Amino acid sequence: MTSPTASAATAPSTYRRPTFAYLVWERAVLETKEFSRSREQVIFIFAFPILLLVLFASIMGDGEVGDGVDFSQYFLAGMIASGIMNTGFQSLGISLAIDRDDDVLKRIHGSPLPASAFFMGKIVHVVMVSIVQIALLLLVGGLVYDIPIPTAASNWITFTWVFLLGTAASTVLGIAFSSLARRGRSAPAVLTPIVLSLQFISGVFFVFTQLPTWLQHIAEIFPLKWLAQGMRSVFLPESFAAQEAAGSWQHPATAIVLSIWFVVGLVVTIKTFRWQRPGDR
């Protein structure tokens, strides 16, 4: 007769260590649930871009910016790019600063969850939220303002790599810049002026080529200008490329600049990210 002890020793273990992909997905789902419970974040991420689109398209929508493209069509591409930056950089950076101030990051860092799974979950969450935001902007733009939505596969291939590179760069920069704010309450004061300034000089609120040349050169250093230009190459006709400052969409330059900013943000994050509040040990 086999003893209970021997049976327990020989019984196969049913426990399976969760995979990295499972941890990332579970973290992304949790982040999305927490996001959905914050009415302020939901309104800012989803309603605010639509409000800006309605206001600008209603005021300046009939004005042609070149080659048969009106301002509402031009502005839609800019708002999509700006929305990616807002979600990945501003909103994520602020939420991380608040979580650090509330010791949420400290508790997560002390848990078995790998740091890489935590950050990848953040990125997946940003991707999901950005897709919904873009879908709502396209829905409003197409139904309310009759803005043409591209159907060619080549346009959506371009959209995919610009979206992924822009999201990756924005997210790691948001993580990196979250450490600038010493307190969670001060994070909006640190991050919002950065995003707002870039929106004004990157071809979001104004036609890029109508800006002073020196402002154009400054904007070329930062990712939002290239993200906005990449989105214009998707949602504006091919002939409009001649209206750009360089006379083309500059896809290779867009990929290079966004990749460089991703690497820069990653390096800064690795070197400066803090799991605890300043002064804590």
Please give the pLDDT value at position 280: 66
Whole-number pLDDT of residue 13: 54
Determine the pLDDT at residue 42.
86
Residues (pLDDT < 50) of the chain are 1, 6-11
For the stretch 135-161, pLDDT in tens is: 999 999 999 888 899 999 999 999 999
- What predicted TM-score, i.e. pTM, was given to this entire model? 0.89
Matching residue, tokens 């109508």:
210
| pLDDT at residue 263, rounded to an integer | 96
